[in-house]
Every structure is written in structure tokens, then in C-alpha cells.
């Protein structure tokens, strides 16, 4: 059987979310894929190395989607609107990715998770800083954090009780608008 790297990533991600990172072993992942555990260890040093690769891929995918927004010719405030919307969309459409990126916690990957989330947060912070004159007199970092936490709440609630993005996008648009209006100067 030919080794399928992406299939390993998908199966491991799903097992880590459904069963919990500590409950899943490399042997279990190998069994689910029909591989020997030695095959997995040939490609991944250990389970921590595997989760780091999963997180790196997932955060890179999210950052790429957010960076594409910055290429659009529009105002900083519109960039912010679109970035928040895409952040929410990413979480809803990729619930297993999102859970591992922002919800699941474990010492094996906590520092890596923090580093990758900080790199992603910098995109949001940059756009918030560009909109600074539009918002209440608060530090840009605080505003970006409030936006992220509001988006995180929307995502977390809606991946706990899954619904399609098509359904939720109708709710996400006014939610994003409410966030932005709440932060704007009167």
C-alpha cells in the first residue's frame, strides 16, 4: 500500500478531535489507515510531530485565505469586514481544523499552537491598526482581541451544533456588522 501523507493528516486530525489527542496513539492512526505503526514513525518522529504538522498546515491555510483579502482593492474597514467574515467561514467550514487550532489544549502542542495563532492574529491586528481612526479610543491590540473573541464565540457555538455555511452566512453578515458598529466612534 502506497503511503498517503494527506490521508494520514486527515485521519489523525479527525481522531484527535473526536477521541481526544491523549487517547489517540500512533498505532491507532496506523490501524485506521491499514499501515504498520513503523510506517507512521518513518514519516513522523512522534505524535507531537504529527500534530505540529497538522496545525502548521491548518494555520497556513487560514492565513492564506486572510492574506488574499488584503490583495483586494478596498478600504481598510472593508478589509476588516471581509477578514472577520472569512475567519468565521473558515471555522464553520473546517470544524476539525478549528477545534485543533483554537479549542483543544495539550502540553504537546500548546506552545506551537500559541505561536501559530499569534502569527495569524497579526493579520487581524494589522488591519485593525489601519482602521484605528474609525474606532473608539482603545489600543488596536485590544480591539483586535475583542473581534477575535466575538468571532470565536460565533464559531464555537455553531460548530458545537453543526449547520451549513450557507445557512450561517446569513447570520454571520449582520453579526460582523454589529461587531464593527459596536467598536466605531459615535
pLDDT (tens place) for every residue of the chain, 186 residues total: 788 999 999 999 999 999 999 999 999 999 999 999 899 999 999 999 999 999 999 999 999 999 999 999 999 999 999 999 999 999 999 999 999 999 999 999 999 999 999 999 999 999 999 998 999 999 999 999 999 999 999 999 999 888 899 999 999 999 999 999 999 987
Q: How many CA atoms lie within 13 Å of 6's alpha carbon, on the beta-carbon side?
A: 0
CATH superfamily of 1-44: Homeodomain-like (1.10.10.60)
Q: Model pTM?
A: 0.92
Please enumerate in sequence order all residues whose Cβ is within 8 A of that of 63, keeping only pairs 6 or more positions apart, or say none: 119, 120, 123
Identify the three-state secondary structure at position 44: coil
Residues 6 or more apart whose CB falls under 8 angstroms from that of 61 comprise 90, 94, 97
Domain 52-183 CATH class label: mainly alpha
Domain boundaries defined on the chain = 1-44, 52-183
- The CA distance from 138 to 140, in Å, is 6
CB 123 within 8 A of CB 68: no
- Residue 81 CA to residue 131 CA, distance in Å, equals 11
**Residue 73 vs residues 34, 67, 143, 144: alpha-carbon distances, Å:** 49, 13, 23, 22
Under a CB-based contact definition with an 8 Å cutoff, are residues 29 and 15 in contact? Answer: yes
For helices 26-33 and 47-70, the axis angle rounded to 10 degrees is 70
Amino acid at each position: 500500500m502506497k503511503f498517503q501523507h494527506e490521508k494520514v493528516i486527515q485521519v489523525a486530525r479527525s481522531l484527535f478531535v473526536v477521541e481526544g489527542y491523549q487517547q489517540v496513539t500512533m498505532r491507532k492512526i496506523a490501524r485506521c489507515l491499514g499501515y504498520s505503526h513503523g510506517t507512521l514513525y518513518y514519516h513522523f518522529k512522534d505524535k507531537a510531530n504529527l500534530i505540529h504538522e497538522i496545525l502548521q498546515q491548518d494555520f497556513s491555510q487560514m492565513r492564506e485565505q486572510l492574506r488574499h483579502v488584503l490583495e483586494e482593492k478596498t478600504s481598510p474597514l472593508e478589509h476588516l469586514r471581509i477578514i472577520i467574515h472569512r475567519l468565521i467561514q473558515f471555522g464553520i467550514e473546517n470544524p476539525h481544523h478549528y477545534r485543533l487550532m483554537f479549542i483543544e489544549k495539550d502540553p504537546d502542542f500548546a506552545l506551537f499552537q500559541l505561536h501559530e495563532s499569534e502569527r495569524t492574529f497579526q493579520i487581524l491586528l494589522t488591519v485593525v491598526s489601519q482602521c484605528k481612526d474609525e474606532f473608539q479610543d482603545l489600543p488596536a491590540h485590544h480591539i483586535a482581541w475583542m473581534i477575535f473573541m466575538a468571532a470565536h464565540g460565533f464559531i464555537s457555538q455553531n460548530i458545537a451544533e453543526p449547520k451549513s455555511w450557507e445557512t450561517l452566512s446569513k447570520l454571520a453578515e449582520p453579526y460582523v456588522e454589529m461587531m464593527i458598529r459596536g467598536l466605531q466612534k459615535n
